[in-house]
A = this chain, B = another copy of it.
């Protein structure tokens, strides 16, 4: 009885507050669901329900609540880069010529169109941007570098850090 009350409260808080720390308002079961779905979301709802020791409808309701609350941003298939012929990863530090809003906007617009660009972030420190780019091999990166990166607008300097070994690369979020 009391147990039920606590669960409802927890579930309500999720949908209510998107800010603060929504993670704190998740109970043990919600966390177990998120952990599982972050690892393998192709699991069926009944199997998931069994894992978290819940009935199927109750489990489904929680999953849908987590999606609607925005905590689960989406469910996607991950492609193995190496198998897809893009085993090379390069991290790029970019310094712009001028630090004007126009300069930044122009660069960002162009950067998103760079083939294989997976990430692009504005950062503090000695660089203006960090980008990560997936490509096939050093030849293809060299081509990309010469044909696209060097022509990005307003760029003063580009420093490339070739990734020799990927120790860790996860989409999983610690709960």
Contacts and interface: CB of A to CB of B under 8 A. Distances in A.
Given A41-B41, A130-B91, A173-B134, A121 B167 contact: yes
B160 A125 contact: yes
A124 B161 contact: yes
A129 B165 CA distance: 10
What interface size band does chain A fall in?
Answer: 35 or more
Interface stretch (A4-12, A31-39, A49-57): A31-39
A60 B164 CA distance: 36
Contacts of A118: 168-171
Given A84-B23, A119-B170, A164 B78 contact: no
A156 to B, nearest CB: 17
Given A115-B174, A129-B167, 13 more contacts: A38-B76, A38-B77, A41-B76, A42-B75, A70-B83, A71-B79, A73-B79, A74-B77, A75-B78, A79-B173, A120-B168, A124-B161, A130-B163
15 contacts: A21-B85, A34-B77, A40-B74, A40-B75, A41-B42, A70-B83, A75-B75, A91-B130, A111-B168, A115-B174, A118-B171, A119-B169, A121-B164, A121-B167, A124-B161
